[in-house]
Amino acid sequence: MRIFPSLLVPLALALSGCAATTQTVPLEGVENLHFRGAGAVSSADPRATAAGEAMLAAGGSATDAAIAVMLALNVVEPQSSGIGGGGFMLRGDGKSGEVVSFDGRETAPASATPTRFLDAQGEVLPRETRVLSGLSVGVPGNLALAAKAHAQYGRLPWAKLFEPAIALARDGFTVNRRLHESLAESKGRADKTAAARAIFYGADGEPLPIGSTIKVPALAATFEAIAKAGPQAFYGPEPAAALATYVAGETPQDGRMAAADVTAYEAKLRDPVCARYRVYKVCGMGPPSSGGIAVAEMLGQLERFDLAALGPRSPRFWHLFLESQRLAYADRELYVADSDFLDVPVTGLVDPGYLAQRSALISPDRTIPKAEPGVPPGAPLARADGPEEPEHGTTHFVVVDGQGDAVSYTSTVEGPFGSGLFWRGFYLNNELTDFTLTPEEGGKPVANRVEGGKRPRSSMAPTIVYDANGKVVLVVGAAGGPTIPVQVARAIIGVLDFGLPAEQALGLPFVMAFGDTVIVEPDSAPPGLVEGLKALGHAQIREAAPPLKANALRRLPDGGWEVGVDPRLKGKLDYR
């Protein structure tokens, strides 16, 4: 039996299912590991990584392992994801090169209207009202996604996938620095309900200290029921009615969630978005996510430049990258939304001819005065862009199994601790605030407006890269709201153009254009970057450190896998 380093930790993940209560997770040395033969896992928490590794060691597929990681992260990283939210999974076949994508995005209640986030006078509701209430909660999709993917690609029994998460929730897990800080920063949200306060906060109202042990028996019971009865324990008539009643009771206006919204939920197979980048095939998620399109657009627009010659320390490289971002995001805002509700010109947006036209707008020596949306083939006209709630949450994980099949899975509850509503041991998402807050601008309809049964646009960008021989060479994704496509494109360039190891590619400087404003992460920026960007015409530059988090697996020449974890997580996962 293959033994993974993370499985040396007593985390109640032994194949016998025995429980353990002591945890001494190794905090260093889990990155840059080189695995051969039996696959590899990378996630935002070693305990979730260990859950996935346990499935691989038991003979499970990459899909099995990814589901186990998602469930374990629900326990140890409740601020970011879980079964109260949704996600997107990309599965790549290691032999045929076929890529399949699963859409587990949350849906608006059938009775939701385009004015969901407006008051009687047509003004946008206060943030607390629209975010920290049932108004923001979409029907969760992660479990439906997991069940659909497992039915198609699972090798282990469904119940087996829940064992690590059940053990963590039942027997307890240790509060690390990252969870403690997130609980402290999210007071008023994470502690919105008495049930959540009783688990994560002390009698003094403060978050439990680093090193404390947390048990979530309600979540263990929820997982046990779903493990035994399948997704019907969540989407069946009785649990659906209970969930809908709870959410509806917390919803101050507009269409309230009904039991039928939950029972009717369906995870969907979607066409992946695949595009060429140099000799590689880069595949990502299509609508309702904008991530795959944005990544493909950025890379396609940059392909004519010799990025390898410029290198990651060159202000000119970052200038080119910024200009490509501005063009891609202009298109994203105007054209991308749930393709079940409107036509999204996916093929036109990633068409090489269209991207060549867009690339021609990029000058190595100056900025584009105003980055406007283009008109790709098949583009619908008379659409507008509108305001949206900033995204912050999410987690990502990647798995490759012994057969070379790969899974890239982004999971989320949207903001930290979602809506703050806590149900049967887990937080419910605030994903509906990813819809545009206003239904029209200047008399034109907004693509990403609220509609009953619709899925809000996402930035999630799970990605799989194949080489010219059809072999998976990189599995990557990120968390961090609208920064996700930029993080992913940056990592791909880091590996393919700069020849960097996975972790160094994930740790590259973060430089992103938000309209005409450029955000530069100060701790990672090379000397002279800000001055160099200003000389190239980027006048509005602000130093900031957005919440970033990415994971990757990179194939090595010997066929093994290098594990990459965003170095920004270092120091956040310790228990001291």
- Structure confidence at residue 389 (pLDDT): 57
- Structure confidence at residue 440 (pLDDT): 86
CA distances from 480 to 93, 283, 384 (A): 27, 20, 25
Report pTM.
0.93
pLDDT in tens, 31-53: 455 555 579 999 999 999 999 99
27, pLDDT greater than 90: no
CA 537 to CA 359: how far, in whole Å?
18
387, pLDDT greater than 70: no
- Structure confidence at residue 32 (pLDDT): 52
Q: How large is the average pLDDT for residues 110-121?
A: 96
Helix 315-335 with 291-302: angle, nearest 10 deg? 140
> For the chain, which residues make up each domain, given as ranges?
5-83+99-265+405-436, 272-377+459-569
Quick one: which of 483, 476, 436, 484 has its CA closest to 460?
484
- Beta-carbon contacts of residue 368 (< 8 Å; ≥ 6 apart): 323, 326, 327, 361, 362
Backbone angles phi, psi at 336, to 5 degrees: -100, 130
Measured in whole angstroms, the distance separating CA 130 from the mean position of its chain's CA atoms is 22
Q: Yes or no: say if 109 and 258 are a contact pair by the CB < 8 Å rule.
A: yes
Give alpha helix (H) positions in 250-314.
Answer: 259-263, 291-302, 307-310
Q: How large is the average pLDDT for residues 541-548?
A: 91
CA distances from 435 to 109, 327, 376, 471 (A): 13, 21, 23, 37
Residues comprising the chain, all counted: 576
The DSSP code sequence of 381-401 is: -S-B---BPPP---EEEEEEE
385, pLDDT greater than 70: no
Quick one: which of 74, 93, 263, 258 has its CA closest to 165?
74
Quick one: which of 241, 254, 339, 279 has its CA closest to 469?
279
Identified catalytic residue from 394, 395, 412, 438 = 394
- Structure confidence at residue 393 (pLDDT): 62
Among 99-103, 271-275, 383-387, whose mean pLDDT is lowest? 383-387
100, pLDDT greater than 70: yes
Measured in whole angstroms, the distance separating CA 442 from the mean position of its chain's CA atoms is 32
CA distances from 265 to 67, 82, 358, 427, 514 (A): 19, 17, 38, 19, 34
Quick one: which of 82, 62, 66 has its CA closest to 74?
82
Q: Which amino acid is at 175?
A: V
Please name every residue paired with 513 in a beta bridge, in sequence order, or none if there are none.
518
- Structure confidence at residue 14 (pLDDT): 31
Quick one: which of 146, 171, 135 has its CA closest to 233?
146
Among 45-59, 378-392, 421-435, 549-563, whose mean pLDDT is lowest? 378-392
Quick one: which of 45, 118, 100 has its CA closest to 78?
45
Q: How many CB atoms lie under 10 A from the CB of residue 22?
A: 12
- Beta-carbon contacts of residue 50 (< 8 Å; ≥ 6 apart): 4, 6, 7, 9, 11, 13, 72, 164
- CB-hemisphere CA count at 13 Å for 89? 30
Could you tell me the two tokens for 216?
A: 């979530």
16, pLDDT greater than 60: no
Dihedral of the CA atoms 326, 330, 331, 336 (nearest 10)?
120
574, pLDDT greater than 50: yes
- Structure confidence at residue 38 (pLDDT): 74
- For the chain, what is the radius of gyration of the CA atoms? 22
pLDDT in tens, 354-368: 999 999 999 999 999
- Edge to edge, the sheet with strand 511-514 lists 511-514, 517-520, 540-543
576 pLDDT tier (thresholds 50, 70, 90): low
392 pLDDT tier (thresholds 50, 70, 90): low
- Structure confidence at residue 306 (pLDDT): 98
pLDDT in tens, 176-194: 999 999 999 999 999 999 9
Q: Yes or no: say if 510 and 478 are a contact pair by the CB < 8 Å rule.
A: no
What class, spelled out in words, does domain 272-377+459-569 have in CATH?
Answer: mainly alpha
- Structure confidence at residue 35 (pLDDT): 55
Mean pLDDT over the full length of the chain? 91
- Structure confidence at residue 220 (pLDDT): 98
- Structure confidence at residue 1 (pLDDT): 34
Which of the pair, 3 or 436, is modelled with greater confidence?
Answer: 436
- CB-hemisphere CA count at 13 Å for 492? 36
73, pLDDT greater than 70: yes
- Structure confidence at residue 31 (pLDDT): 43
13, pLDDT greater than 50: no
Q: How large is the average pLDDT for residues 211-236?
A: 98
Instruction: Please confirm whether the linkage preceding 288 is cis (ω < 30° from 0).
Output: yes
Is 394 annotated as catalytic? yes
- Structure confidence at residue 18 (pLDDT): 31
Q: Which amino acid is at 371?
A: A
19, pLDDT greater than 50: no
- Structure confidence at residue 17 (pLDDT): 34
pLDDT in tens, 124-173: 999 999 999 999 999 999 999 999 999 999 999 999 999 999 999 999 99
Quick one: which of 228, 66, 240 has its CA closest to 150?
66
250, pLDDT greater than 50: yes
Q: How large is the average pLDDT for residues 498-527?
A: 95
